[in-house]
Amino acid sequence: MINYYFRHPLIKPIEFSSADNFIQITGQNKKVQLYLKQIIEWSVLGHRYTELQIESLLNQELLWMINDKAIGKNDYRFLRINNREDLIYHLSGKKGSLGATYFNLINNNVDVVHYIDKINDLLELISIEYKKQNEKYDLNYEIDIKRINLNDITQQYFTFSFMDNGVYCIDFIESEYLMRAFIKILSILINDTEINYLLYLEDLSKLVPIEKVELLLNDLHQLSRKGQLTIISFGSTSSDLLIKKDLLETILICGDSECQPFYDWISIHNYLQCNYPCSFDIEDEKLLSYFKRIIPYLLSQDGQSYIPYDQSLVLFVLLNEGFYFHNYQQRYTPKLSRLEWNFLEEKLYKL
């Protein structure tokens, strides 16, 4: 089990456990999501705090820990995919892109060292001629040679244009194909290097067709199991999430700061439908009967009740400041105690 800990002075610390290097973050509390993004980015990129930021953060730094180890600048190579432009950049081969890392890997396997040595020898000869001319005119110039390596040649003298089935302009290639190419390159680098990557995704359903999101996230999840890739995916809707029985624990929900008062089961149902992404496989009438047994557990004092449920009904529900995924099944729902029913009648169901 991997234990994640996020600390931001402006919210309560968030602790989260998962069996995977794969975290999916959703929910209606955008403030908490913003702070989580800051924790992740500032930790990995080595953020330098301004005096105003230090004052606002009560003289504390943001902290991200995995299994009690603080995450810092040298722990991950940070990859951000928020939009199509990010994809195009990483496939471009430009300095700092994933494509550039891929071509540098190829360079390590290209046997042209003797050609590079010849070029550098020529640079030495040219510098000697410069020195002779300077002496001739009695000019005192210090000449330093910038020796060439293969990566310099790749960046300065080669242009890489990604293409698809005869389409040579990347502007006309669909984003799904670009995303698959990105995943393929990332897979090659993970297999052939020892670099640890952190892939930061946001609203993937806005980048590729909704029906393709699950397939792409599944491929990324499988890739993350190799250990060198950690994935954090922020999603605004259920379409941005990979919802599988063995991955429910990877979903971190940022919910309400306090519980909204309810007056009957219909108001509960309407609230959940309006405020949380849901996937329903059953009729509303049946759903309401489930809610009568579910709500007391959602509003239990510790906010952590977990009752297994079949994949046919997945509810993204978070009340009372918790950060937990709740997923239920009627045949496994325990009998409610008298205390729980009293809580239900007192807090929710006004007779």
Single out the residue in 219, 254, 289 at which a domain terminates: 254
Do 151 and 121 belong together in one domain? Answer: yes
Is 72 contained in some domain? Answer: yes
Cβ-Cβ contacts under 8 Å for 39 (sequence gap 6 or more)? 6, 7, 8, 62, 63, 64
Asked whether residue 71 falls in the same domain as residue 192, the answer is yes
CATH number for the domain harbouring residue 250: 3.40.50
92/62 Cα distance (integer angstroms): 33
In this prediction, residue 93 has a pLDDT band, given cuts at 50, 70 and 90, of: confident
Residues 133 and 203 in one domain: no
Tens of pLDDT, residue by residue over 159-217, are 777 777 777 788 888 999 999 999 999 999 999 999 999 999 999 999 999 999 999 99
Within-domain flag for 167: no
The residue among 134, 159, 184 that closes a domain is 159
Q: How many structural domains compose the chain?
A: 3
Domain identity same for 89 and 101: no
Model confidence over 113-146: pLDDT tens digits?
888 899 999 999 999 999 999 999 989 888 899 9
Q: What is the Cα–Cα distance from 192 to 226, expressed in whole angstroms?
A: 12
User: Is 154 inside any structural domain?
Assistant: yes
- Is residue 27 located within the same domain as residue 153? no
- What is the domain extent for residue 284? 265-347
Burial (0-12, 13-18, 19+ Cβ within 10 Å), 66 = middle
Full-model pTM = 0.70
Query: Domain check: are 249 and 205 in the same one?
Result: yes
Instruction: State yes or no: pLDDT of 103 exceeds 50.
Output: yes
